[in-house]
């Protein structure tokens, strides 16, 4: 889902909406029993719900059972990469139906995402900062719709709260477009340049060498970084350089080993930045099996695999940035 990003009118639209009450534990997907690690993660899951019937509302309720299950599966294949070194806080938030939203003109898409989804995510983040964070450094993590809404937090909340922004280790807003225009409109933000910088935005979208149809998570000029080498040039990073991918079950949950742990799948995915397309190209994964094309995205768009292809690289890189931030 593409965002149409950041008109000032979105804030006024969101102010008339009553946010979900994040003082209630049932509105949190993940909450640590003890915040015993020096760094936090605030995580927003991707689109985990879609309409069952055309007459269903365009935005789901906070207790929608399809979303609750889908959010847990998304957490298992994305947020678990950060569990070994960070306290993870993940709210439930009301989502729009991505297929419906991406069928609309960009201005209408912006109104939908900037209404209830943004209101909930902003309220959850503010509640987290005021009640749970206790001044610790934190990492923002999202994917797809979660990253798009996170980009609004980066643009609006961080601009208004520079002392909070100063504690941000990095923002992994993967699966959403970050453009030079977005950065120019938000000069307090900066895009990642290498494997070690902090306070930066990290983003990429993964495609096969050939895409048939649309990629709804791209905008012209989108920026990308290689998730194996964490460089922005167009040098190929081979599958042998990849620290490990993960395999998924048909329901989107992670395949576990006999001990119930997430084991790396080695030599599975390569990565190369294509600056002209604004994406990361994975050239060796099976398009017919993994991305045959859907109503949401064309054939060859590896959107669902942005994290699984490079899971252990993200894990290592995020921990590296956190340690560098703590040791500044």
Q: What is the pLDDT of residues 33-82, one digit of tens each?
A: 999 999 999 999 999 998 888 889 999 999 999 999 999 999 999 999 99
Q: What is the pLDDT of residue 281?
A: 98
Compare 123 and 105 and report the one with higher pLDDT.
123
Q: What is the pLDDT of residue 295?
A: 75
Residue 7 has pLDDT above 60, yes or no: no
Q: What is the pLDDT of residues 247-305, one digit of tens each?
A: 999 888 899 999 999 989 999 999 999 999 999 999 999 999 999 888 778 999 999 99
Residue 98: which pLDDT band, with cuts at 50, 70 and 90?
confident
Of 328, 2, 275, 1, residue with least CA distance to 166: 328
| Rounded-to-integer distance, Cα 167 and Cα 54, Å | 43
Q: What is the pLDDT of residue 96?
A: 92
Residue 6: which pLDDT band, with cuts at 50, 70 and 90?
very low
Token duo for residue 106 = 């960009």
For the chain, how many residues are written?
328
Residue 133: which pLDDT band, with cuts at 50, 70 and 90?
very high
The number of helix segments (H) and strand segments (E) in the chain equals 11, 10
Q: Which residues contact 7 (CB under 8 A, 6 or more apart)?
A: 110, 114
Q: What is the pLDDT of residue 16?
A: 80
Q: What pTM does this model have?
A: 0.94
| Rounded-to-integer distance, Cα 23 and Cα 28, Å | 9
Residue 1 has pLDDT above 60, yes or no: no
User: Average pLDDT over the chain, rounded to whole?
Assistant: 93
| Rounded-to-integer distance, Cα 252 and Cα 264, Å | 16
Of 29, 41, 15, residue with least CA distance to 315: 41
Please give the DSSP secondary-structure letter assigned to residue 8: T
The percentage of residues in the chain with a pLDDT greater than 90, rounded to a whole number, is 82
Domain ranges of the chain: 10-326
């Amino acid at each position: 889902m593409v965002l149409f990003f950041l008109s000032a009118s979105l804030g006024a639209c969101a102010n008339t909406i009553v946010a979900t009450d994040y003082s209630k534990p049932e509105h949190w997907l993940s909450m640590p029993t003890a915040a015993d690690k020096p760094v936090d993660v605030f995580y927003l899951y991707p689109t985990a719900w879609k309409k069952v019937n055309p007459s269903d509302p365009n935005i789901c309720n906070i207790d929608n059972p399809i979303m609750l299950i889908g959010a847990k599966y998304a957490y298992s294949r994305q947020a678990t990469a950060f569990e070994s070194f960070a306290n993870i806080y993940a709210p439930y938030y009301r989502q729009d139906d991505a297929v419906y939203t991406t069928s609309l003109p960009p201005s209408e898409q912006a109104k939908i995402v900037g209404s209830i989804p943004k209101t909930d995510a902003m309220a959850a983040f503010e509640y987290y900062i005021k009640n749970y964070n206790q001044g610790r450094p934190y990492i923002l993590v999202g994917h797809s719709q979660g990253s798009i809404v996170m980009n609004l937090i980066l643009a609006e909340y961080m601009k208004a709260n520079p002392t909070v922004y100063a504690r941000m280790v990095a923002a992994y807003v993967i699966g959403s477009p970050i453009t030079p225009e977005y950065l120019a409109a938000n000069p307090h933000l900066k895009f990642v340049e290498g494997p070690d910088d902090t306070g930066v935005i990290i983003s990429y979208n993964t495609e096969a060498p050939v895409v048939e149809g649309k990629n709804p998570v791209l905008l012209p000029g989108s920026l990308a970084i290689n998730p194996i080498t964490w460089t922005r040039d167009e040098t190929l990073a081979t599958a042998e350089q990849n620290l490990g991918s993960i395999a998924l079950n048909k329901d989107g949950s992670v395949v576990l080993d006999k001990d119930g742990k997430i084991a790396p799948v080695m030599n599975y995915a390569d990565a190369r930045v294509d600056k002209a397309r604004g994406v990361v190209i994975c050239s060796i994964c099976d398009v017919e099996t993994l991305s045959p094309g859907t109503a949401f995205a064309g054939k060859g768009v590896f959107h669902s695999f942005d994290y699984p292809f490079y899971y252990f690289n993200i894990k290592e890189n995020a921990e590296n940035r956190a340690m560098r931030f703590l040791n500044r």
